[in-house]
């Protein structure tokens, strides 16, 4: 199963649009956002994706009421999912993940640091797609997760 993964969009509309186009082009079956949309107007762009959307709050999501109105499925992490036969743990920051939750998961998806992480460790895939916004690193990225491996491809986005 292919899953689109992004985090730290921080209201940058052109890169959110680019991520949605990438996910549509690549035929992903679901999208996971690991937090820090920031404002509800940015979420509307992600809602253009027509498949399942799994989302957690980040530490910069100040307008939680507005975000919840647009995405009733948004939760404070951790979020546990089973997709493509894999158990996926989603939280905004790796340091907020409890060891027991990590131990019980095949794939751990986080954001917060704005740095790409794509590594296998102890038979688990740790994935941070980096920052979709590019504000901190000047690199706008998202990921395509293939649960079959599991493995992930980090994709550059054009702003």
Domain ranges of the chain: 2-156
Expressed in angstroms, the distance from the first to the final Cα of the chain is 27
Q: What is the pLDDT of residues 46-99, one digit of tens each?
A: 999 999 999 999 999 989 999 999 999 999 999 999 999 999 999 999 999 999
- Element (DSSP H or E) covering residue 80: strand 79-83
Q: Which two tokens stand for residue 25?
A: 């082009």
As a 3-state breakdown, the chain gives helix, strand, coil percent values, each rounded to 5, of 25, 30, 45
- Topology of domain 2-156, CATH: Purple Acid Phosphatase; chain A, domain 2 (3.60.21)
At residue 44, the pLDDT reads: 94
pTM (whole model) above 0.95: yes
């Amino acid at each position: 199963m292919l899953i689109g993964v992004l985090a730290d969009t921080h209201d940058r509309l052109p890169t959110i649009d680019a991520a949605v186009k990438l996910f549509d082009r690549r035929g992903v079956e679901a999208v996971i956002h690991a937090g820090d949309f920031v404002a509800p107007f940015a979420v509307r762009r992600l809602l253009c994706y027509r498949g399942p959307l799994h989302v957690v709050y980040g530490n910069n999501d100040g307008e939680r009421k507005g975000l919840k109105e647009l995405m009733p499925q948004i939760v404070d992490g951790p979020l546990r999912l089973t997709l493509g036969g894999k158990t996926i743990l989603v939280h905004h920051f790796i340091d907020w993940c409890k060891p027991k939750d990590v131990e019980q998961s095949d794939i751990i998806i986080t954001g917060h640091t704005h740095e790409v992480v794509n590594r296998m460790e102890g038979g688990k895939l740790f994935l941070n797609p980096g920052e979709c916004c590019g504000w901190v690193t000047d690199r706008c990225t998202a990921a395509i997760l293939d649960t079959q491996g599991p493995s992930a491809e980090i994709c550059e986005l054009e702003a």
